[in-house]
Amino acid sequence: MIMSTSRGGASGDLGRHAHVFQPGRSGRTLLLLHGTGGDEHDLLRLGAMLDAGASLLSPRGNVSEAGMARFFRRVREGVFDEADVRARSAELGAWVRAALAHYAIDPAGVTSVGFSNGANVAAAMMLLGAYAAPRAVLLRAMVPIAPAPGASAAGARVLVLAGTSDPIVPAEHSVRLADLLRGVGAEVTLREVPGGHGLTRDDVEIAREWMGVNDERAD
Ligand code: MLT
């Protein structure tokens, strides 16, 4: 069963993002955050590949860049509008909490899975103290913002997956991001996969292994 809610069809915080909620059977939930130009349907297949038994919660970014949806504004490729990163991260964090309550999702069972701009907003929420899931898989993430004083993602486990020849994310960004996330208390694993900005089979396999999902138990 897929339940979709359009922006106009839900009230309060929840109505701020068009989204899909697809209930699963395992008690686990993947918060799926798409890349630039994607939407709430983009990562559903990836979510099912990563954890077939999990519920999927997938919001669409509210920023439009020439018609392409994003989670925050940028000045140009790799240069972000910091005020907007702060505001959108706070807003998305509030939205996630509202969605967890609305759909009766166990917060302890959530894994954030973000790709590119979606990974960047997941990282920004952690660095700013807006929202940290207990686990996060950040695929092709950059440093989105400096950590806010006092922000804590203590106890969160984070997997950063970087492409060795990513033309958008310089290698030192992945290393710096891992360090910044450690600085706010997260336990971070940084892995490189052969490839560019696009996702590969290796990403899926490494993420599945790191998540430790036992599909037989889940299904
Ligand atoms: C971003 O803008 O978040 C990054 O440059 C990745 C992208 O979306 O292209």
**Would the pLDDT of 8 be above 80?**
no
Lowest mean pLDDT, pick from 8-17, 143-152, 197-206:
8-17
Q: Say if ligand 1 is within 6 A of residue 140 CB.
A: no
Active site residues: 116, 166, 197
Q: Say yes or no: CB of residue 61 within 6 Å of ligand 1.
A: no
Per-residue pLDDT reduced to its tens digit, 161-200: 999 999 999 999 999 999 999 999 999 999 999 999 999 9
Residue 139 — pLDDT band, cuts 50, 70, 90?
very high
- Answer whether residue 216 shows pLDDT above 60: no
* Token pair in block for residue 190: 């940084």
Whether 73 shows a pLDDT value over 80: the answer reads: yes
- pLDDT band with cut points at 50, 70 and 90 for residue 214: confident
Q: For ligand 1, say whether the CB of 88 is within 6 Å of any of its atoms.
A: no
Q: Which residue lies with its CA nearest to atom 8 of ligand 1?
A: 117
Ligand 1 centre and the CA of 88: distance in Å?
15
Ligand 1: does its nearest atom lie under 6 Å from the Cβ of 35? Answer: yes
Determine if ligand 1 sits within 6 Å of the CB of residue 93. no
Q: Percentage of the chain surpassing pLDDT 70?
A: 92
**Ligand 1 pocket mutation pick from 36, 39, 85, 121 by most atoms within 8 angstroms of CB:** 36
Q: Give CA separation, 9 vs 14, 65, 69, in Å.
A: 9, 24, 19
Position in ligand 1 atom list of the atom nearest CA 35: 8
Question: In the predicted model, is pLDDT for residue 122 greater than 90?
Answer: yes
Mean pLDDT of the chain: 94
Question: What pLDDT was estimated at residue 217?
Answer: 44
Residue 12 has pLDDT above 90, yes or no: no
CA distance 175 to 106: 31
Rounded CA separation 133/197 (Å): 24
Q: How confident is the model at residue 126 (pLDDT cuts 50, 70, 90)?
A: very high
Tokens (6 digits) for 105 = 């999702």
pLDDT value at residue 213: 87
Give residue-wise pLDDT tens across range 150-167.
Answer: 999 999 999 999 999 999
Closest CA to 197 of 172, 143, 173, 161: 161
Identify the pLDDT of residue 1. Answer: 47
pTM comes to 0.94
Q: Ligand 1: distance of its center to the CA of 78 in Å?
A: 6
Compare 19 and 217 and report the one with higher pLDDT: 19
Mean pLDDT of 140-145: 98
Report CA(25)–ligand 1 centroid distance (Å): 33
- Ligand 1 atom index nearest CA of 77: 5
Q: Verify whether ligand 1 is closer than 6 Å to residue 38 (CB atom).
A: no
CB–CB of 128/148 below 8 Å? Answer: yes
What is the average pLDDT across 110-114?
Answer: 98
Tokens of 143: 């440093």
pLDDT value of position 218: 41
Judge if the beta carbon of residue 33 lies within 6 A of ligand 1: no
Distance, in Å, from the CA atom of 188 to the CA atom of 4, rounded to the nearest integer, reads 33
Element (H, E) at 138: strand 135-139
